[in-house]
Amino acid sequence: MSTTTRQTVDIIDAGTIAYKEAWDLQTRLHKELVENKRAGYPEPQRHYFLLCEHPPVFTLGKSGSEDHLRIDEEERASHQIEYYKINRGGDITFHGPGQLVGYPILDLDLIFTDVHKYVRSLEEVIIRVLQEYKITGSRSDRYTGVWIDDDQVKDESKKICAIGVHLSRWVTMHGFAFNINTDLTFFDHIIPCGIVDPNKSICSLSSLLGKDVNLQEVKRQVSTEFGAVFDLDVRFTPFASINPFTLKNV
């Protein structure tokens, strides 16, 4: 397959989905892309971008510390929060209702082979979406993700989007967690991303705007900017077409 061919990404809205189900689905799609690549691309390579919400869950990246989880198993159960150790980079974070989670499964061999550029491109997608709400997102020299600087306090900023990825044979997994209408009190139970800097905290789009935000509208904006930033044609694909519980995949 020529790398000069313009690629298409399937945007898939999975709605609210259990974390483990989404992880298993990512793993299956990742394997599909890798196997097609290893075989020399007998089929046109597909790229996927899953958008979803999760029931409350903490996830710990492979470089993270369990010391950054502040509640025990009994307390997690009382709050109905799941917990998984996973294979992405980064430390501990929270996923839950009102948060838009994006999982790109891309073959970067057909887009660009630069991990740093990939992470910065994910940040760029969110920064562009924030501009639609007249909010200036920024990057940190020390930490990944997208931040909102405090104009009144020097060096103080709040993270609105966390990023943690995994690549194997230049095929991506995991992605970003963009706080939209997220209940931020869940972050009190962890040291988010393992960052202990007192000048760093967490925010959401709704906390900045002072009102709830239409999540479906944000999904549309994220999809548009994702295609623009990665120079991909966007194709909206029903979740049922890749759902592992369907009898036949499209």
Residue 158: inside a domain, yes or no? Answer: yes
Determine the 3-state secondary structure of 32 from DSSP.
Answer: helix
- Range from 17-26, 71-80, 152-161 that averages highest in pLDDT: 17-26
Residue 100: inside a domain, yes or no? Answer: yes
Q: Which domain holds residue 83?
A: 8-241
Residue 249: inside a domain, yes or no? Answer: no
pLDDT score, position 202: 93
How many Cα neighbours within 13 Å face the side chain of 140?
21
Residue 182: which of 209, 208, 157, 206 has the closest Cα? 206
The pairing of strands 92-95 and 57-60 is antiparallel
- CATH code, domain with 26: 3.30.930.10
52 in active site? no
Q: Is the pLDDT of residue 248 over 80?
A: no
Overall average pLDDT of the 195-207 stretch: 86
Overall average pLDDT of the 12-20 stretch: 96
What is d(CA 177, CA 102) in angstroms, rounded to the nearest whole number? 7
pLDDT score, position 247: 32
Residue 161 CB partners (closer than 8 Å, separation 6+): 123, 126, 137, 145, 146, 176, 177, 178, 179
For residue 107, what is the DSSP state? B
How many independent structural domains does the chain possess? 1
Residue 91: inside a domain, yes or no? Answer: yes
Instruction: Single out the catalytic residue among 52, 161, 193, 203.
Output: 193
Helices (H), 39-141: 73-78, 115-131
Residue 1: inside a domain, yes or no? Answer: no
What is d(CA 218, CA 125) in angstroms, rounded to the nearest whole number? 11
